[in-house]
Structure 1
Amino acid sequence: MQNTRTSSPIPGNPCGEKWASRLLSECAEAIAEKNTNKIHHLLWMLNELASPYGDIDQKLASHFLQALFCKATEYGEQCYKSLISVAEKKHSFESTRKMILKFQEMSPWTTFGHVASNGAILEALEGENKLHIIDISNTFCTQWPTLLEALATRNDETPQLKLTVVVTESMERSVMKEISHRMKKFARLMGVPFELNVVSRLAHLCQLTKEELSVEEDEAVAINCIGALRRVNVDERGAVIRMLHGLSPRVVTVVEEEADFTSTRDDFVKCFEECLRFYNLYFEMLDESFVSTSNERLMLERECSRSIVSILACNIESSCEESELRERSSQWCNRLKECFSAVGFSDDVVDDAKSLLKRYRAGWSLVFSQGDNPALFLMWKEEPVVWASAWKP
């Protein structure tokens, strides 16, 4: 459907600056109104202007065009499965690892959550000698070398650390085997007694049980949820949170992206506008963080394209939905407060997060929200994009 031209919008076209958002929104409205002639006209126009290798407007047009076409033709589930299949065949563990590490080098989008969570976990488990961290995240364990280093330099006796990594079927067993090997090697280097267990073969996170996690009575437990809770079906999120509470953790850290793709599910245009707002920010961030020819940037953008298709073009009952339905911090806090109390972050953790941002280009800042829902927000050009929080039973 899409071409690959890198030129600017065609001469004399009336779209002007920021043309992609306007045309895409018009097309979404036409789909909601079932205006077939207008849909065809706008899809054709977007296809003429879009390019996955162009400027931000061309990229937005390219990736959202695919989702709008799938929505209009009811081809979302098939397209999503095809995109996932292509990605799995094309991406090796090494290319994925390189993408993640490059992203962390160029942007604090993920490292912010690592720093905030590690700080809260270390403070909650201070003085304990038998630690058990349950990692339910999408970080490929890139979060933990820094924590291992911090444990190795503690003034008192170096504690034992058991790390239980929870993965779903989408992460290949061979990948976790390679990650496990690297983590154990680094722990030996740091002199930290270390055990890593993997809980896999889960189709969905809601299938996770207390028994599978092998929590022992004398362990101080921390639960780390980074980009994980949005993988749970909306109707099952409360049950998962109650299951986590049943593990009696010292702390639960939650990091999610600040967007709402749930409350607008029944209004396609509103859901589309929220999706466009969020990914417009994300694409702007990538544009200012990476060079235009970066392979890692293209991989990240293709990942976005799959997410956009699942949000906008898949039925809510579809399995592809579970990995994309983000909620805002206020929504998550309301859910979490049914079982936990928010504890916020100490001044030391906030200072560490501020120091992290100094490594990156201008445009990033932090906002620490206190009150009933204390949380730390990562801001991109004064817009909240990621938030972190810490909770105790």
Structure 2
Amino acid sequence: MNKSQIHRVRPWPGFLTSSKELGSFGDVNCMEQLLVHCASAIENNDATLSQQILWVLNNIAPPDGDYNQRLTWAFLRALIVRAAKIGTCKMLTAMATAQDYSNLVLHTHRFSVLELANFVDLTPWHRFGFTASNGAILDAVEGYSVVHIVDFSSTHCMQIPTLIEAIATRLEVPPLLKLTVARLTEDVPPMLDLLSYDELGLKLVNFARSRNISLEFRVIPFSPSDDFAHLFGYLRVLQQQHQQLAAFAEALIVNCQMMLHFIPDETLDNITTSSTPYNSLASCSSLSPSSFSSSRSMFLKTIRRLNPTIVVLVDEDADFTSTNLVCRLRSAFNYLWIPYDTADTFLPRGSKQRQWYEADICWKIENVIAHEGLQRVERQEPKGRWVERMMEANFRAVAFGEETAAEVKRMLDDHAAGWGSKKEENDLLLTWKGHNVVFATAWIPA
């Protein structure tokens, strides 16, 4: 791309095309601004401007470039998918299709159990939450003869073997374990292959037996987009059983690992019927959790009525909840550079695992950018907002023990030097190059 070609591009608001600025086209801030203006043009059905920005981005952000270029390409792809989905900018979609449609087709991998276990171990993205919550759970269940774990996790029970191993190692008299797994009915990465949850449960039962622990396994379907009737009905039965068994020293653990952000952050009616415009550049504020009857708040209050021994909540410290597309794009762009950057430190270019890893990130970006309503399930909220929700549901935060914090640091020694952890009041945070990535919090009934 030469300077004469660049000067033929129609100028757009806030973007300088003087020769002094031409060298900044590959700068990450420039890429973000290009994406912002492309998103605005698509929302305003400005096909001409959209095509011009697309042409520039196609030249500076190849899908096999450095991590900033790959990140930008993933967002550009998501914007094209959005344009095609909402039926605007047909010329834009046709142009992208003519250039290289194969690059727009997303192929997410379905893992075998062994592949998924190895995949999860590649980074501390999930291992951090596993390690922190295992420590909090072990501290909470000491002295109980029965431990019932209700597991809300997006990684298909990958935490459970580490928890079983920790219980077998640390507790002199291992308790009877009851494991109730909430199985997501929607397909979200990472995805399992054809292995059923009954088969997965049998593997866990056999593994626990090999560690001299008795494990009972059951699974319930969990669809964040439905009315929760089935799940809440089950939880009510669970509450009655727990109250009857409380005298027999049964601990009830609710373990939430990066799944609760799939619950809509508004009421279902709000999401389905909302006519909020998405192309306003002025309003970037998300709705306050107390400004509507939130499905998340209702869910947490239902959990509170179970009177659990402890609730562990782990999730990504990001905010993808804005109803404004541009604000959501900016927030996601300034968070999701992290997994792309980390990929360059531990996965060789062209490897299958890197393809799988980045395809899962692309899926997340597409869901955040291209979809609305019930189809947009990636609705992360920052730690502070979850803290507010938990306190509103009448929970009280408890601190992670020093041994748990030390175990997290030892786990991070297995990974690249950019990873770190820090304590923030009662909570633990995973960081990458000083930026918050994942938070872990622990709660008991107030």
Residue matched to 1:57: 68
Give the alignment partner of residue 218 of structure 2, picking from 197, 218, 243: 197
Mapped to 1, the partners of 2:129 and 2:431 lie a distance apart of 12
Equivalent residue of 2:216, what SS? strand
Aligned to 2:254: 223
Q: For residues 127 and 383 of structure 1, do their structure 2 counterparts lie closer, same or farther at Cα, with a shift above 3 Å needed? A: same
Alignment of 1:292 with 2:313, yes or no, is no
CA distance in 2 between counterparts of 1:138 and 1:155 reads 27
Q: Distance in 2 between matches of 1:91 and 1:178?
A: 20
Whether the 8 Å contact between 1:168 and 1:204 is mirrored in structure 2 is: no
In the other structure, the counterpart of 2:398 is 343
| Cα offsets for 1:320-356 (capped at 9, x unmatched) | 212x000000011111111211112111111111111
Of residues 208, 214, 234, the one that matches 1:187 is 208
Question: What letter corresponds to residue 186 of structure 2 in structure 1?
Answer: S
Aligned match of 1:142: 158
For structure 1, the residue ranges without an aligned partner over 5 or more in a row are: 1-9
Say whether the 8 Å CA contact 2:140–2:310 is kept in structure 1: yes
One-letter identity of the residue aligned with 2:142? E
The question of whether the paired residues in 2 share the 8 Å contact of 1:132 and 1:221 is answered with yes
- Show CA shifts across 1:132-154 (max 9, x none): 00001112111111211222234
- What SS class does the counterpart of residue 53 from structure 1 fall into? coil
Shift of 1:33: 5.3
Q: Which amino acid aligns with 1:151?
A: I
Answer yes or no: is the 8 Å Cα contact 2:106–2:363 preserved in 1.
no
Conserved 8 A contact 2:182-2:222 = no
Q: What SS class does the counterpart of residue 325 from structure 1 fall into?
A: coil
1:382 aligns with 2:393: no
1:305 equivalent in alignment to 2:372 = no
Q: CA deviation at 1:51?
A: 3.4
Unmatched tracts of structure 2, length 5 or more: 7-21, 88-92, 94-102, 267-294
Which AA in structure 1 matches 2:366?
V
What residue in structure 1 maps to residue 178 of structure 2?
A: 162
What is the distance in 1 between the residues matched to 2:42 and 2:186? 32
Partner amino acid, structure 2, of 1:123: D
Q: Which moved more, 1:18-27 or 1:38-47?
A: 18-27
Could you state the TM-score of these two structures normalised by the residue count of structure 1?
A: 0.85
1:352 aligns with 2:407: yes
State which drifts further: 340-349 or 50-59. 50-59
Instruction: Quickly say closer, same or farther: Cα 1:197–1:155, change in 2 above 3 A.
Output: closer
Q: Name the count of aligned residue pairs.
A: 366
In structure 2, which of residues 298, 314, 319 is the aligned counterpart of residue 255 of structure 1?
314
Could you tell me which amino acid in structure 1 is paired with residue 317 of structure 2? E
Amino acid at match of 2:361: C
Distance verdict in 2 for CA 1:29–1:245, change over 3 Å: same
Matches within 5 A, 1:88-167: 91-94=109-112, 97-98=114-115, 100-167=116-183
Looking at CA atoms only, which structure, 1 or 2, has the larger radius of gyration? 2
Aligned residue identity for 1:104: V
Letter of the 2:432 counterpart:
W
Q: CA deviation at 1:47?
A: 3.0
**In the aligned structure 2, how far is the partner of 1:129 from the partner of 1:314?**
47
One-letter amino acid matched to 1:132: H
Code of the aligned partner of 2:401: S
Pick from 32, 35, 52: which aligns with 1:21? 32
Contact in 2 for aligned 1:102/1:296 (Cα 8 Å):
no
User: Which residue, out of 229, 234, 240, partners 1:211?
Assistant: 234
Q: Deviations over 1:34-82 (max 9, x none)?
A: 5432211112332344433332233123211121123334449xx9xxx
Give the fraction of aligned pairs with identical amino acids, expressed as a percent: 31
In the alignment, is residue 72 of structure 1 matched against residue 62 of structure 2?
no
